[in-house]
A and B are shown apart, each in its own frame.
Chain A
Amino acid sequence: GQLVQSGAEVKKPGESLKISCKGSGYMFSTNWIGWVRQMPGKGLEWMGIIYPGDSDTRYSPSFQGHVTMSADKSISTAYLQWTSLKASDTAMYFCAKVRQPSGAFDVWGQGTVITVSS
């Protein structure tokens, strides 16, 4: 399997953004997809996961209400969306396929860098 993410983004505070993660080479709709944040110089943070088959989502409490995960199984693509970006959203964002039941991320996208600056 493979995951390919959309390209780097430079945005201003308050702007909205939606980044994508397209899967191939495996059954996209029946495998959970997760999102992981890495802020500059910091560690990995588990944001949440989505099941493309029915769009069931599980968010980390730290990210609930700040981002929205969605998926379109017809085009094997998952999305991560912000309605109003902040400078603190500046980070690298990875999508990754979840291996159940271990919850391990076994296939990773290449990452999308988001820079939020006025």
Chain B
Amino acid sequence: DIQMTQSPSSLSASVGERVTITCQASQDISTYLNWYQHKPGQAPKLLIYDASILETGVPSRFSGRGSGTDFTFTISSLQPEDIATYYCQQYDNLFRGTFGQGTKLEI
């Protein structure tokens, strides 16, 4: 089973600040890495897929990069509406997935 280690578990930042979250896979997953935003009382929302591809309609301040085992997710300029918990998720060649532990972002 592939394990995902996401850090930090929580993060406090100011409006306009650059925010970075990391995710490390326990083995090579190429670019099969996705990022989600989850707000309380809502369904999660896909932001980035295939490590770096921005989902349609998602603001360009969100970005992702990485391949193999190390991945990063960045918000270039934090906005108040970005307050949420963010998750990475891997998908392996057996069609099985795992989420990271999540990063709770606060202002």
What residues make up the interface of A, taking CB atoms closer than 8 Å to B? 32, 34, 36, 43-46, 48-49, 58-61, 94, 96, 99, 101-106, 108-111
A-B contact pairs, 7 of them (CB 8 A): A43-B102, A46-B99, A102-B49, A104-B50, A105-B34, A105-B44, A105-B89
What residues make up the interface of B, taking CB atoms closer than 8 Å to A? 1, 32, 34, 36, 38, 43-46, 49-50, 55, 85, 87, 89-91, 94-102
Which residues of the partner chain A approach B32 to less than 8 Å between Cβ atoms? 101-103
- Who on chain A is nearest to B41 by CB? A111
Q: How far is the CA of A102 from the CA of B93 in the complex (A)?
A: 10
Q: A44-B87, A45-B99, A60-B96 are in contact. Are A102 and B43 (CB under 8 A)?
A: no
Which residues of the partner chain B approach A43 to less than 8 Å between Cβ atoms? 85, 87, 99-102
Nearest Cβ on chain B to A5's Cβ, whole angstroms: 10
Q: How far is the CA of A87 from the CA of B101 in the complex (A)?
A: 22
Nearest Cβ on chain B to A113's Cβ, whole angstroms: 11
Select the residue from A43, A46, A110 with max chain B CB neighbours within 10 A: A43
- Who on chain A is nearest to B38 by CB? A44
Nearest Cβ on chain B to A56's Cβ, whole angstroms: 9
Which residues of the partner chain A approach B101 to less than 8 Å between Cβ atoms? 43
List 12 other contacts, CB 8 Å, given A103-B34, A106-B49: A36-B99, A43-B100, A43-B101, A44-B87, A46-B98, A99-B49, A103-B89, A103-B91, A104-B46, A105-B44, A109-B43, A110-B43
Which residues of the partner chain B approach A103 to less than 8 Å between Cβ atoms? 32, 34, 89-91, 95, 97
- Who on chain B is nearest to A56 by CB? B95
Whether B46 pairs with A105 at a CB distance below 8 angstroms is yes
